Amino acid sequence: MVRRPRRKLYESDSAGKAAREMGLLESIEGPGDLERLTLDECEQLAAEIRAELIADVSKTGGHLGPNLGVVELTTAIHRTFSSPRDTILFDVGHQAYVHKMVTGRSGDFGTLRQLGGLSGYPARAESPHDVIENSHASTSLSWADGIAKAYQISGESDRSVVAVIGDGALTGGMAWEALNNIAADGSATHRRLVIIVNDNGRSYAPTVGGFAQHLDMLRTSAGYEKLLQWGKSALQRGGAPGRFAYDALHGFKKGVKDMVAPQGMFEDLGLKYIGPVDGHDQDMLERALAQAKGYAGPVIVHAMTQKGRGYAPAMADEADQFHSVGVINPETGLPMSPSGARSWTKEFGDELVRLAEGRDDLVAVTAAMMLPVGLQKFASKFPGRVFDVGIAEQHAVTSAAGLAFGGMHPVVCLYSTFLNRAFDQLLMDVALHRAGVTFVLDRSGVTGPDGASHHGMWDLALLQAVPHAHVAAPRDSTRLREELGEAVTIDDAPSVVRFSRGSVGPDVEASVRLDDGVDVLARGGSDVLIVSVGALADRALEVQARLADEGIGATVIDPRWVLPVPASVIELAARHSLVAVLEDGVRSGGVGARVRHDLRDAGLRQGVAELGLPAEFLPQGTREEILKFAGLDVETLTKRILSEVSDLRG
């Protein structure tokens, strides 16, 4: 076995602690190896895991804060349950790094989120210990319910299902649908289903909503905290009296809690409840989990954890406690290569504030993504006009329809991938009712290292099916400001502005703007009309130059608004032999398919090359790596267009 290098422990105390020799972590090849450790060794292992997380994630980027907070919880789960025979689910999957480490993958963390490397979420191809690959939140309880039912039907009553759900994920409606069914199902008493609420008070930022307030009351009840401390102290004295004191604490907890803390809504639903438990006390956690494991029915364990625990820069970050980081200096937590370039998100956030200064009816809505979608400046300036609904995209969209009915113009800000979750509401609550709602989709197209579930590649195809929808795809920051301003003037239909992840490139100026807003970026002949969607404009121009070298004349246009297809796009297409549509969405039902459809409706038979993404789940990697993987690099695009031209010429 290769000896790991020394790692420094980045402690939360100001003085810090001396570096320790790594030792235990490198000996953990699977969950079974955890069982031989003493509690003192578990404490040492936790320190080594945190040091390794900081050292590795600081180089690759990733979800650092959430995983620093679940070290003891994860090791306690694997010491109590027997994965993979017992099924362990993580919701959201970004808190599964420690799980990966103790299931034999600690040596691979240098490849985290890299092309061909370790996924930033559970991945079935990596390990039989991984089950849910979807990184969208609030799904674990439905998965757990279904798996537990299957084990019951098949007679495998000795198998447990453990769902680790962050308190932020419990703001999602799907989680409550699952809880309602789990609690109401009388036959569930024979299923071994353990729901662990990882309660750190945060999703990306502090968790919002009534449920979060309820958990906060349970966390902060002074009387209940004293009661827990008494149980812990008794336990630490050791021997049977200590164990009895702890067990007795949970045995009569319900009656005492009625006096010193709010009645737990979980127990009101008929679900057995254990907690709150200190999520960083290995002994307490293991005793609570053992008690839950022994209960033949659904049980909830409420574990209180600290996001970013053990890392001073994360603990000092009040905004998101290093929820997700890029490449950072492990000593300071600061970015290693601060960029002077402005991001799409920042450009949007600044422009929305400018627009709102002149329009009192503009309001913003988001789903637990205030910081990631760039609304912090808007929230600071207009606190009464921004609504964070938690991880509840369906509610966000229908609430926006209500805001529009009430005379407001809501701007719903989501990652593109999360619009998938609210398609019905977009279709039936916004479009059907002709509500003036603007959707701003951040991280559209290929996003990079977060992998298949985070690529924003489905939006263009989904939106094609929405009647009356208007969709804009800005190519640069100037067009982003223009198109956002145009979008919020549409008051009788949904409007959508989608943009990429990362930094905005230089402006790509047009040679002329046509009457319907289509920009002609370059003229070069009538062989090919290249229709460039969004941030692909720069490579569209490169493709044009390469085609010219091959004697093929091409004109490059940017429709700006890709849905509905502007009339001038069809008019220009009629003057060219081939139309090549470059888009970073799936080509099945995408913009290229819509252009082909509109050409046929106009009685035209021009060839159309639909140059988009394949309808498959794309891997993780940098944006450039994935675009090349999908055939959207300049060289491949040029070859494909040359082949299409050759076929047309016979």
Task: Tell me, yes or no, whether 300 and 384 share the same domain.
Answer: no
The pLDDT of residue 258: 38
311 labelled binding-site residue = yes
Question: Which tokens sit at 504?
Answer: 């905005």
Q: Convert the pLDDT of each residue in 227-247 to its tens digit.
A: 456 445 544 544 333 333 344
Residue that finishes a domain, picked among 316, 333, 359: 316
379 labelled binding-site residue = no
Percent of the chain with pLDDT over 70: 84
Task: Tell me, yes or no, whether 90 and 174 share the same domain.
Answer: yes
The pLDDT of residue 213: 55
Catalytic residues: 307, 393, 421
Task: Tell me, yes or no, whether 110 and 165 share the same domain.
Answer: yes
Nearest to 94 by CA among 427, 453, 611: 453
Task: Tell me, yes or no, whether 108 and 72 share the same domain.
Answer: yes
200 labelled binding-site residue = yes
The pLDDT of residue 234: 44
135 labelled binding-site residue = yes
The pLDDT of residue 552: 97
Task: Tell me, yes or no, whether 561 and 469 share the same domain.
Answer: no
393 labelled binding-site residue = yes
Task: Tell me, yes or no, whether 175 and 282 share the same domain.
Answer: yes
The answer to the question of residue 328 being in a domain is: no
The pLDDT of residue 359: 97
169 labelled binding-site residue = yes
Task: Tell me, yes or no, whether 441 and 542 share the same domain.
Answer: no
Q: Which residues contact 194 (CB under 8 A, 6 or more apart)?
A: 81, 160, 161, 162, 163, 289, 292, 293, 298, 299, 300, 301
Residue 445 DSSP label: B
HEC string for 524-547: CCCCEEEEECHHHHHHHHHHHHHH
> What distance in Å separates the CA atoms of residue 299 and residue 188, rounded to the nearest whole number?
11
The answer to the question of residue 171 being in a domain is: yes
> What distance in Å separates the CA atoms of residue 208 and residue 386, rounded to the nearest whole number?
13
Q: Please provide residue 103's backbone torsions phi and psi, each rounded to the nearest 5 degrees.
A: -110, 30
* List of the chain residues with pLDDT < 70: 1-22, 167, 185-189, 201-265, 318-320, 337-340
The answer to the question of residue 389 being in a domain is: yes
Domain count, the chain: 3
Q: Convert the pLDDT of each residue in 473-501 to its tens digit.
A: 999 999 999 999 999 999 999 999 999 99
The answer to the question of residue 398 being in a domain is: yes
The answer to the question of residue 235 being in a domain is: no
Task: Tell me, yes or no, whether 119 and 56 share the same domain.
Answer: yes
- Global pTM value: 0.86
Task: Tell me, yes or no, whether 481 and 527 share the same domain.
Answer: no
Can you give the CATH number for the domain in which 560 is found?
Answer: 3.40.50.920
Can you give the CATH number for the domain in which 360 is found?
Answer: 3.40.50.970
Task: Tell me, yes or no, whether 289 and 358 share the same domain.
Answer: no
Task: Tell me, yes or no, whether 277 and 397 share the same domain.
Answer: no
The answer to the question of residue 582 being in a domain is: yes
The answer to the question of residue 357 being in a domain is: yes
Query: Domain limits at 369?
Result: 344-498
Question: Which tokens sit at 516?
Answer: 């319907």
167 labelled binding-site residue = yes
SS3 assignment, position 410? strand
Would you say 365 and 375 are in contact if contact means Cβ atoms under 8 Å apart? no
26 labelled binding-site residue = no
The pLDDT of residue 241: 34
Task: Tell me, yes or no, whether 529 and 561 share the same domain.
Answer: yes
The answer to the question of residue 615 being in a domain is: yes
